[in-house]
Amino acid sequence: MIRRTSHILRHDASRVIAKPYLPGEEIAAGDAVSRAGLLMARILALTDADVAEVLQQVRRRFDRRHKEFEGLLERHFAPAKLR
């Protein structure tokens, strides 16, 4: 059961973990599209200008939370290039 309390959860940027999105094998019934498939369709539909804007937004939101954020993105991208 869920019960309301007086406790308040607050974010702590020093405790944020950045991990890559690595979708597992998903079972889709019939003609259903997987979450990973929907995500890829949205990504591939972006224009170059949209990609640049989204990347800037991500940098602004997460750069202060993670040391060497650009390097982190590159390390997460590297395994994807090998597939």
Whether 9 is covered by a domain: the verdict is no
Say if 41 falls within a structural domain: yes
| CA pair distance 14, 5, nearest whole angstrom | 25
From residue 30, alpha-carbon distances to 34, 38, 53 in Å are 11, 15, 36
Residue 43: per-residue pLDDT: 92
Question: Does 7 map to a domain?
Answer: no
When divided into structural domains, the chain yields a total of: 1
The pTM of the full predicted model, rounded to 2 decimals, is 0.53
Token pair 């989204």 is found at: 54
The secondary element (H helix, E strand) that includes residue 52 is helix 48-62
Q: What confidence tens digit (pLDDT) does each residue in 31-57 have?
A: 667 777 888 899 999 999 999 999 999
For residue 17, the one-letter residue type is I
26 within domain boundaries: no
| Domain span at 37 | 33-83
| pLDDT tens for each residue of 62-74 | 888 888 888 888 8
